[in-house]
Amino acid sequence: MEAPVLYEKIVNNELIQIENVPALVCRNCGEEWLDDETLETIERIFTQGVAADRPAN
Ligand SMILES: [Zn+2]
């Protein structure tokens, strides 16, 4: 099933949190994982900065 999760990652010794990331959750063991498209979007956010107030080079 699909469920929004809180995604956390430490970047430059700073804890970055992204809320309401659409994840797939296993009904059996509760494991969460993200599909490739979602991961790409998240990586882009981390690369460009969460605030995204600066244009990327
Ligand atoms: Zn499972």
CA of 12 to the centre of ligand 1 (A): 32
| pLDDT level of residue 5 (50, 70, 90 thresholds) | very high
Q: Are strands 14-25 and 2-11 parallel, antiparallel or unpaired?
A: antiparallel
Taking only the tens place, the pLDDT of each residue in 34-56 is: 999 999 988 888 787 655 555 55
3-state secondary structure of 53: coil
pLDDT reported for residue 57: 59
pLDDT reported for residue 51: 53
CA of 42 to the centre of ligand 1 (A): 23
User: CA torsion, points 47, 51, 54, 57, in degrees to nearest 10?
Assistant: 10
CA of 27 to the centre of ligand 1 (A): 7
pLDDT reported for residue 36: 94
CA of 38 to the centre of ligand 1 (A): 19
CA of 32 to the centre of ligand 1 (A): 9
Considering the entire predicted model, what is its pTM? 0.63
